[in-house]
Chain A
């Protein structure tokens, strides 16, 4: 069972929901929480467990061998990402732009662009009772989140069976990293806030999930601020609003100290129970 927690807009509460939901569900279930926001993972601020595994993650990039290169220009022509540039008698490789497709390397007639490995990030696994927490983080300067997200999901797939509830804290937005983080999910929870910005970006996220043919529902966070347009929109479009987490100063205070909410605030727990019911019903049908 794979649940992705995503949003169009940033800062709507993906991590707040992911960490609280994962921790709460792990009281009765085997749960894996995976922070896929590899550019700036922050679930780890709220989940403190024992580090039980860590591994460096690599991607493959071409390296130019000047001695055998005939400067035919094939590599530059086949690269869709302008990661290989021919400049007179030089070939320049931009590792951050490279998508590891191997085209330049495979199509080089003299084998002058062998693929070599480059570190892109670190994966760490923590354990706290019934909760496994996986976090991957890009190294500074690395631009591409997708390869690390992909390798992290592969790690989770290989390590944990289908009996566990897997919660994927996804990056914000609707671009490639979000697609990668949500494409294998059985269900996507879209977290939004009841503001014009929240609704605008929610619509983009919904459009994306429809394109991916995903089942999804909406969680309204900071309920009570803004207006009712998000809910009206969801009703009109027949999109389930699964829970509404209230806006409160106490929540912000707990969040800012890295604490989980549901044991302190009963309204939050009540909403988590609604999500739990929804997920367990979903689990039976999958």
Chain B
């Protein structure tokens, strides 16, 4: 499974970013390869509109199977993500990435 987290930093100990469209970074954890990839999404601050679908499209290209985030994507982003068939879990906005991963593994996160 490739699991994407919306984050404010690039480490396992980084805080999660509760936002989806304008999250600062994505950390993608590839469970099979036990590898981490980082995507810098800070250019989304330049978008007055449409940050959600653009970010969703980037996430699609990262080939994530699961998205773990805080508030959950907005309407437009959700439309895109729905087409990708990605599983989305929300409510991890106040956690670190590590805590969010553990909560996901323990089935404690809410499905979007």
- Residues of B near A87 (CB, < 8 A) are 57, 60, 80, 83-84
- Closest residue of chain B to A143, judged by CB? B49
Q: How close is B66's CB to chain A, nearest CB, in angstroms?
A: 17
Q: How close is A202's CB to chain B, nearest CB, in angstroms?
A: 24
- Closest residue of chain A to B54, judged by CB? A82
- Partner of B49 from the list A81, A85, A88, A90 (CB cut-off 8 Å) is A81
Q: How close is B39's CB to chain A, nearest CB, in angstroms?
A: 16
CA distance A85 to B60 in the complex (A): 11
Q: How close is B8's CB to chain A, nearest CB, in angstroms?
A: 22
Q: Does A101 contact B (CB under 8 A)?
A: no
Q: Does A94 contact B (CB under 8 A)?
A: yes
Q: How close is B60's CB to chain A, nearest CB, in angstroms?
A: 6
Question: Max chain B CB contacts within 10 Å: which of A86, A90, A92?
Answer: A92
- Closest residue of chain B to A88, judged by CB? B60
Per the CB 8 Å criterion, the residue count for chain A at the interface is: 13
Q: Does B79 contact A (CB under 8 A)?
A: yes
- Residues of B near A97 (CB, < 8 A) are 49-50, 53, 76
CA distance A143 to B41 in the complex (A): 24
The 8 A CB mask of B46-82 against A (1 = contact, 0 = none) is: 0101110110110010000000000000001001100
- Residues of A near B60 (CB, < 8 A) are 87-88
CA distance A107 to B60 in the complex (A): 25
- Partner of B47 from the list A82, A88, A94, A96 (CB cut-off 8 Å) is A82
CA distance A83 to B52 in the complex (A): 10
- Residues of B near A82 (CB, < 8 A) are 47, 49-51, 53-54, 57
CA distance A94 to B56 in the complex (A): 13
- Closest residue of chain A to B21, judged by CB? A82
Given A85-B56, A85-B57, is A90 in contact with B83 using a C-beta cutoff of 8 Å?
yes
- Partner of B50 from the list A86, A88, A90, A94 (CB cut-off 8 Å) is A94
The 8 A CB mask of A73-90 against B (1 = contact, 0 = none) is: 000100001110111101
Interface set of A (CB-CB < 8 Å, partner B) = 76, 81-83, 85-88, 90, 92, 94, 96-97
